[in-house]
Structure 1
């Protein structure tokens, strides 16, 4: 199950886990995507790990988590600007890279073997090598899939396949009347790979200095993991009213606190999480006047 916009993060996880909780899908090994450019993905990873552990303990199949860095940054920036919100993704690539490696390490812990299967979707050979070597060192190589895009640096994919053993190639498949969707997908890939800090740009167009820069970026991302925050960048807190009129910031239903405040939740009624939460208390007069 793919992951698109930030506002759908919790909903997508809820739908995924609800579907796999149906008795008819007990033996189905299904997968979901997490985007490392969202700090909230660390919380999503823990939710999915907990779900997968309980599912396997109950006799069900493991769960696959496909880890990407995220490709909807421009759209997220626009939405944040329209609503006067902080943008949901990290503001720097360094933070995204650090969070990516953090999530790779979390999913490849030995106690999750046979519970979580990790798909490392990346053309950054440093990230791929780290995941592969970490999995081999921990004895969980069977829990790792390396995933790349069909037609994107095919010689690189062949070299990784020869070292790792297998590579899963992804390509968009659409009906002829929806071909414009595939074109927009291609444009997003070309746009991100044309950026100077991108690994493929450095590999093919940057020269020796660019690859030394890529190595430095990779080493820094590993070192920066402890300092890279995992709390949501967007908050439900509102600024107090000032002396002059200013429009109140829109409430963001993507935030669990806002959904709880409004009495709305993506959790199906009767589920354990729903029962534990209960219904949120109505807003106070101060909250109403502030909003």
Structure 2
């Protein structure tokens, strides 16, 4: 699909914002239980197992819901899936040797890359409101993560930023390359890419096992283990939640300009924090609460601007 075709598509920013909010609530809940999975399982087995479960759900719903999994543009879907899968692989891999706050802060540079890619690669107009919203939202993210998000910067800290860049490129590709694909087609491609990467990681760690620490500390380095009922249950919850949540996110990027939708994704941080408080009793600092207010302001700036333009 050409840039001219893309520009003729209706831009439904408010509908996209509602979908991203639903995505954040669902993913914020399921991601809080990754710590339970990491107690005994490994990252690679988690991705491989979750992908198999996700595909089983997709195939089970294929006929009842009339899903279409066949890509219209196979090359575009494969490219997008590889980009998104690689971004998530780098993100989770960086967790092995960098603080979680630093890794998360790097990933949330994605909206900045979305604007740069949309503007310079695809020639989209970038207005001052969107630039300001990205800046406000990112300041809010850093405040939520805390001062440690800016500490410990090193060459290795480039990895989460690289993950953010790949995540941004995949999100731009959703509308630029795959606007005519169904959400389930892109979901299937995303989980297939992660499943393949997970299987490769399991194979490598089976041949060359590492000395793995116990518990969540060994999540990235752990090879395949015999899964317990707890691992399978929460991995299934992840698979089902990711299908619904990521599907909503994909549809949002198909409905509206990526530069606008990417700012709404900041809401996943306060959503995750809210679930952490409800599930684990973890509380937020006043600085983090102020950061969440800034994140909300960033989203409102985009939404109000879209409404004034009739989108």
Structure 1 length-normalised TM? 0.30
**Rg comparison, structure with higher value:** 1
More helix as a share of residues: 2
Structure 2 length-normalised TM? 0.28
